[in-house]
Structure 1
Amino acid sequence: MQINTFEEYQETYQKSINQPEEFWAGIASNFLWKKKWDNVLSWDFASPSIKWFEGAKLNITENCLDRHLAEKGDTPAIVWEPNDPEKESITLTYRVLHEQVCRFANVLKKNGVQKGDRVCIYMPMVPELAVAVLACARIGAVHSVVFGGFSAKSIADRINDAACKVVVTADGAFRGNKQIQLKEVIDDALIGCPTIEKVIVLTHTRTPVSMLKGRDCWWEDEIKLVDSNCPAEEMNAEDMLFILYTSGSTGKPKGVVHTCGGYMVYAGYTFSNVFNYQPGEVYFCTADIGWITGHSYIVYGPLSQGATTLMFEGIPTYPNASRFWDIVEKHQVNILYTAPTAIRSLMGFGTAPVQGKDLSSLRVLGSVGEPINEEAWHWFDEEIGKKNCPIVDTWWQTETGGIMISPIAFVTPTKPSFATLPLPGIQPILVDEQGKEIEGNGVNGNLCIKFPWPGMLRTTYGDHERCRLTYFSTYQNLYFTGDGCLRDEDGYYRITGRVDDVINVSGHRIGTAEVENAINMHAGVIESAVVGYPHDVKGQGIFAFVIYPGLSKDEDLTRKDILQTVTRIIGAIAKPDKILFVSGLPKTRSGKIMRRILRKVAEGDTSNLGDISTLLDPAVVQEIIDKSKQL
């Protein structure tokens, strides 16, 4: 299954394009199936309708746990490093993880969860989060993990959209020197969530919490009431495995749906190849399981391959900027997969935090979440990899389920800030605004994929039409990624950023409409427009232009009030970095906001704004430019 030379990559890629069904059937045969498939693939991008391994029966947890027990039962499956370096790390072997997953699966069943029910998981980065995810999959329940930084309103929206039956949470979470009151946030969210019947609460921070009789119960108590015998539910390959909410260009988050068979095959195959994972290695992905990276490359991908996956509760700069390097040294980490935001943030501390740290165990470095800039790439290569470790700069999305364009470690010649080449089975094309293919090298265009792959989304939960409109309607018979892309003279791909109204902040996609809706909820705001702009650490920052007629002299206080509003409605992750108060916005006569003008202002480049004569009030542009110089 692993590709070891560039020639082998080229041959494998060609076969995967010429005979995709035969290729993926061969990859799938490396996994455990209760029943083989009747048909490898049927698809139609117009509907869209995509089905992989139809007729096959499986359970993904048997592939992640049971099949490793005989030979790897005592091998570490999950190593957990707590927020506080003074506390002990915890290691769960495959045998122990299997037992814990089966026990918690029985807890879910005891609390009324059945196959097909949706379970919302809102937890800190602790081993029990992985246990809860796998326990849902064990019994055929659909998990919806919500990132621990989201507000009560954001959680309520996600619970109601999926009509979740049970919430799994904890009393609180540690994040650097802060404590986050998770149970309190859940209590606020559940005021408006009629479908929730039970809340299972893990003790973690020992924060006092309110427990409602009949609804809330403690994880520790429930575990004692069940045994560890839980046969895996037989699932169809196309049954739902999980829903994961992602921001879109409208204010309402969309629930991306991934299914059991294709997702498993794709996550496992890409993990094994991209990172060149070798048996016994320690693999450390610094992401949160609340994001797709954590699903695919902390839980399902590594465990399906019998790997040792390291989970980390904290942040890169607490208690100091050596934290990552201390973890690498302590656990002899071989593969480190992190975000450009983290790398840029650590670069800011210089090389002192790296001095004296033994990073010699590192073999492969990886980058995820957004395109990595050249400066950060070189720092990562020189200071962390000591020029001995290939950097896999991976491009993919929540919707793709796994890595799509990336170097394969030790195989693909790398180039700073380029995602390089598509993985086997992936057929990218660049198109112009009209959808016409742009051929050849040394070209720019909108990135689309013209053939299905096993890990791709199947629908958006409860709204298939939204899935069609968002991903399959822009260009006929193509999956549109929403990203602009450059293909250079060598045929290497470089992602140039979003072309729709989505901002990539620290690797997290945030819809401009979602932030605008939150700002507009503030009592004094009439209207707002939000754009992204280059940010030294986050990659992109959020710049808000706000119409607030009754503005008093204290602009700073009003800014803080607006930030508080956004935090309450979405979460701190979506707070604007800059807020500029304006008397009007540049609009066309039909009322559409000309965002390209606002982007130019946010970027500080107002030399060439193009034609603004079609605006309803062209004078408003000069006022915005003048005001922006005072920020």
Structure 2
Amino acid sequence: MAQAGTKTRALQQRATEDPSGFWGDAAAAIDWIRPWQRVLEEDNAPLYRWFEGAQLNTCYNALDRHVAQGRGEQVAIHYDSPVSDTRYGITYLELQAKVARLAGALVAQGVEKGDRVVIYMPMVPETVMAMLACARIGAIHSVVFGGFAAAELATRIDDAKPKLVLSASCGLEPNRVVPYKPLLDEALALSSHPVQGCLVLQRMQCEAQLTPGRDLDWYQAQQGVEPAECVPVEATDPLYILYTSGTTGTPKGVVRDNGGHAVALAWSMRAIYDIGPGECFWAASDVGWVVGHSYIVYGPLLVGASTVLYEGKPVGTPDPGAFWRVIEQYRVKSFFTAPTAMRAIKREDPDTRCLKPGQLDSLRALYLAGERCDPDTLNWSARQLGVPVIDHWWQTETGWAICANLMGVDPVPVKPGSPALAVPGYQVDVLDEAGHPLAAGESGAIAIRLPLPPGTLPTLWQNEARYREAYLSQYPSYYLTGDAGYQDEEGYLYIMSRIDDIINVAGHRLSTGRFEEVLSQHPAVAEVAVIGVADELKGQVPLGLVVLKSGMELAEEQLYQELITLVRQQIGPVAAFKLVSVVDKLPKTRSGKILRGTMRKIADNQDYVVPATIEDPTTLDLVRHALTRLGYGHASIGGGAGV
């Protein structure tokens, strides 16, 4: 019997041995204004560049060419907002016209090729139009998640130095309206960079007071302007800057180029997600995150698919059946969300009573990414939905998947806990502290051999030194992912934790992800986070915080004993797992990542800053109380389970 993934491995080999040929062929999916001189420019290694000398326009490739090919009447965006009870479709022809006019308004305000524009907006079609309008005229957009704290927005304004800020009067949450304009005003007052002006989209739920001489109404600014044509840009010119958290507390501006980005995303839509022209793809994310950039906006539109723009939640808008309703309504073929969304549904509706017969008839696969997907969540999702569930792994920095199951080319067997094989173009190794590749089954730092494929970050915005130091300095000829894990003998990768989530228990290096994997097997557990806390005897010991499924009634002491026994059976006494407590909710970022680092600092009585990306700051109080009961963070007041 042939080894699984024969075609994938052949593609991996070709992309490794002949990257110029492989990606040159893939580039045929993009319309170019001027061809490249070299596919891969290596003269300035390790700062590689793709499609040197080529010119294109990303907006043209996402909109205009589909209209020119006679497909203008196809829906480009299905906008679905249960929080505002609004649903409608926008065709490619309509979207092209709206984007061209908005781009004309930017030009009328003095925005030119290479200028930066900060976009601070909610999940509305105008946000997508703003991104595409910038791309149309060669301006560099930087989307900041709507509702971010003023101080955090100010740091991004000071770093990107935008000519304009595009914003909206408010964002909508299931039970509240979030006014954006006061936050924007405060950010502009805090920032040292003088912004030339702001375009503000007024929403009926909360209209904003415009500042005379600086602010313009979104639609009034477009009156009487000439629609803008697409401006040629170099393939190596920046398309956008997307800020991601830095270990120093200063955000890092990940740069995405135009040419490599378009080629990589178009290739990934077909190869990974099995999506082509006219088919419907849904990434249930936010345009403030990299998933929203790559797979709400650019990826689907580059291949002429229909994309879903969803302003809502997996539960509570109105119930845990919200996702299934959207999939049915728009005939979604491939659906992409975060494991935390599936865990939220599982917690509220463990038997999927809100899933009606036939609702998922169009669905061919569910894709999960954004955080580690524990096997229990993957298995539950596959069982309840009746479709393949594809875990895949990537980062803001890479812009698209590092490891994935190529469902459009060569589906391989799913191994719960693994995002499958390295995607062609990525040469993934697991390294020890000295930088030597480890054998199958041995855990270490996950690194990618240079050059990275197209679509990944070429550098950080105006900070090449930080790019080299953060990603390229630890292992020569490698990009350091910051994640830890191992590969099995078939090459399947297992991401277990961040490198700093490896804990050292009496000299034994153990992954917190492995503890979470085991604890998630308990039938009462909906979510779990494990952190390493300081211990005088062992150096560190694991501490678990668990969230229970709705309706579960179980004596806490019994639950704690069962969880401790489970870890002892599957990891062994060496794990020294004795600390566990129930919490109502775990602290997470808005993208669903659990704030393990912050919890670890609280437990060890270290100074910490509440992350700007936190979804609900009150969850830190829940964690602090649970840690106190276990004797960490503050003096013990009893309770919990320290067995």
TM, length-normalised to structure 2:
0.80
The letter of the residue matching 2:468 is R
Quick check: 1:367 aligned with 2:365?
no
Cα RMSD over matched residues? 3.0
CA distance in 2, matches of 1:419, 1:580: 30
Equivalent position of 1:64 in the other structure: 62
Aligned to 2:94: 96
**Pair 302,623 (structure 1): closer, same or farther in 2 beyond 3 Å:** closer
Deviation at 1:390, TM superposition (A): 2.2
CA distance in 2 between counterparts of 1:623 and 1:216 reads 49
Give the Å deviation of 1:48: 3.8
SS in 2 for 1:196: coil
Partner of 1:398, secondary structure, is coil
Q: Answer whether contact 1:149 1:573 (CA < 8 A) is retained.
A: no
The residue that corresponds to 2:312 in the other structure is 314
Change beyond 3 A, Cα 1:308–1:624: closer
- The equivalent residue for 2:466 is 466
Runs (5+) with no aligned partner, structure 2: 503-511, 517-530, 532-541, 548-585, 587-591
Distance 1:171 1:623, change over 3 A: closer
The answer (yes or no) to whether the contact 2:75–2:89 under 8 Å persists in 1 is yes
Instruction: Please give the secondary structure, in 2, of the residue aligned with 1:77.
Output: strand
For structure 1, the 5+ residue unaligned runs are 506-511, 513-530, 550-561, 583-600, 607-621
1:498 aligns with 2:498: yes
Find out whether 1:540 has 2:594 as its counterpart. Answer: yes
Which secondary structure does the structure 2 equivalent of 1:293 belong to? helix
Is structure 2 residue 257 aligned with structure 1 residue 203? no
CA distances 1:473-496 after superposition (whole Å, capped 9, x unpaired): 011111000000211132210111
Give the counterpart letter for 1:477 in structure 2. Answer: S
Deviation, 1:433, is: 1.0
**Is it true that 1:168 corresponds to 2:169 in the alignment?**
no
DSSP 3-state at the match of 2:424:
coil
CA distance in 1, matches of 2:234, 2:276: 30
Aligned to 1:394: 392
- Contact 2:147 2:180 (C-alpha < 8 Å) held by counterparts: no
**Conservation of the 8 A alpha-carbon contact between 2:177 and 2:205:** no
Whether contact under 8 Å (2:261, 2:456) holds in the other structure is: yes
> Following TM superposition, by how much is the alpha carbon of 1:250 offset from its aligned partner in structure 2, in angstroms?
1.0
What residue number does 1:115 align with?
Answer: 113
Question: How many equivalent residue pairs?
Answer: 548
Deviation digits for residues 483-531 of structure 1, max 9, x if unmatched?
A: 00211132210111111489999xxxxxx9xxxxxxxxxxxxxxxxxx9
Residues 335-385 of structure 1: CA deviation (Å, up to 9, x unaligned): 11000000000001222222446211111210010121111101211112x
Structure 2 distance, partners of 1:170, 1:333, is 29
Q: Hey, what's the Cα distance between the residues in 2 that align with 1:573 and 1:123?
A: 19
Residues in 2 aligned to 1:25 and 1:161: alpha-carbon distance in whole angstroms: 34
Q: Residues 535, 41 of structure 1: CA spacing in aligned structure 2 closer, same or farther, 3 A cutoff?
A: farther
Preserved contact between residue 101 and residue 225 of structure 2 (Cα < 8 Å): yes
Partner of 2:484: 484
Tell me the residue number matched to 1:335.
334
Q: Which residue of 2 aligns with 1:559?
A: none
**1:125 matched residue in structure 2:** 123
Residue by residue over 1:378-436, the C-alpha shift from the partner in whole angstroms, topping out at 9 and shown as x without a partner, is: 1211112x1xx222211011111211101112622211121010111111111101111
- Separation of aligned partners in 2, 1:532 and 1:181: 38
2:413 maps to 1:413:
yes
Q: Give 1:208 shift.
A: 3.2
Paired residue type of 1:427: Q
Map 1:352-363; keep pairs closer than 5 Å: 352-356=353-357, 358-363=359-364
Checking the alignment, whether the CA contact within 8 Å between 1:405 and 1:419 is kept in structure 2 is: yes
1:9-39 deviation line (CA, Å, top 9, x unaligned)? 2322221112111111111122111110001
Which residue identity is paired with 2:298? Answer: Y
Q: CA deviation at 1:571?
A: 5.4
Question: CA–CA distance in 1 between the matches of 2:241 and 2:46?
Answer: 18
Counterpart secondary structure, 1:406: coil
1:577 aligns with 2:620: yes
Residue pair 1:115, 1:139 contacting (<8 A) in 2 also: yes
Counterpart check, 1:79 vs 2:78: yes
The CA distance in 1 between the partners of 2:637 and 2:40, in whole Å, is 53
Deviations for 1:252-305, whole angstroms, at most 9, x for unmatched residues? 111111111111111111122111114322111101000000001111111110
- Match of 2:41? 42
Structure 1 residue identity aligned to 2:289: W
The equivalences for 1:432-447 within 5 A come to: 432-439=432-439, 441-447=440-446
State whether residues 170 and 207 of structure 2, in contact with CA within 8 Å, keep that contact through their aligned partners in structure 1: no
SS of 2:70's equivalent in the other structure is: helix
The answer (yes or no) to whether the contact 2:276–2:303 under 8 Å persists in 1 is no
- The question of whether the paired residues in 2 share the 8 Å contact of 1:282 and 1:334 is answered with yes
Q: Is the 8 A contact 1:325 1:357 kept in 2?
A: no
Residue 229 of structure 2 aligns with which residue? 231
Structure 2 CA distance for partners of 1:78 and 1:7, relative to 1, 3 Å: same
SS of the aligned residue for 2:450 comes to: coil
Further displaced range: 211-220 or 535-544? 535-544
| CA distance in 1 between partners of 2:218 and 2:195 (Å) | 17
Structure 1 residues 243, 624: CA separation in 2 closer, same or farther (over 3 Å shift)?
A: closer
Q: Label 1:164 to 1:575 Cα distance change in 2 as closer, same or farther (>3 A).
A: farther
What is the TM-score with the length of structure 1 in the denominator? Answer: 0.81
Name the amino acid aligned to 1:163.
K
Distance, in Å, in 2 between the alignment partners of 1:400 and 1:249 is 18
Cα offsets for 1:529-564 (capped at 9, x unmatched): xx9976656663441655999xxxxxxxxxxxx99x
CA contact (8 A) 2:603 2:633 kept: no
- 2: CA distance between counterparts of 1:603 and 1:434? 39
Would the aligned equivalents of 1:533 and 1:540 in 2 still touch at CA under 8 Å? no
- Structure 2 residue matching 1:79: 3-state secondary structure: strand
Conserved? CA contact 1:406–1:419, under 8 Å: yes
Q: In 1, Cα distance between the equivalents of 2:168 and 2:293?
A: 19
Q: What is residue 428 of structure 1 aligned with on the other side?
A: 428
Task: Name 1:382's counterpart in structure 2.
Answer: 383
1:256 to 1:411, Cα distance in 2 relative to 1, 3 A = same
Counterparts in 2 of 1:433 and 1:189: CA distance versus 1, 3 Å: same
SS state of the match for residue 65, structure 1?
Answer: helix
Secondary structure class of the residue paired with 1:90: strand
Q: Distance in 1 between matches of 2:396 and 2:238?
A: 15
Question: Deviation at 1:469?
Answer: 0.4
Alignment partner, residue 294 of structure 1 = 292
Q: Distance in 2 between matches of 1:328 and 1:580?
A: 35
In the alignment, what sits opposite 2:455?
Answer: 455
Conservation of the 8 A alpha-carbon contact between 2:147 and 2:171 = no
Alpha-carbon distance change, 540 to 212 in structure 1, aligned in 2, over 3 angstroms: closer
Instruction: Verify the 8 A CA contact 1:249 1:501 in the aligned structure 2.
Output: no
1:558-597 equivalences in 2 (<5 Å): 566=610, 572=615, 577-578=620-621
CA distance in 2 between counterparts of 1:53 and 1:64 reads 19
Distance in structure 2 (CA, Å) of the matches to 1:144 and 1:157: 12
Corresponding position of 1:106: 104
How many percent identity over aligned positions?
35
| Aligned-partner Cα distance in 2 for 1:570–1:379 | 28
Q: How does 1:241-252 map to 2 (within 5 A)?
A: 241-252=239-250
* Aligned amino acid, residue 430 of structure 1: V
Letter in 1 for 2:370: G
Q: Is 2:272 the partner of 1:274?
A: yes
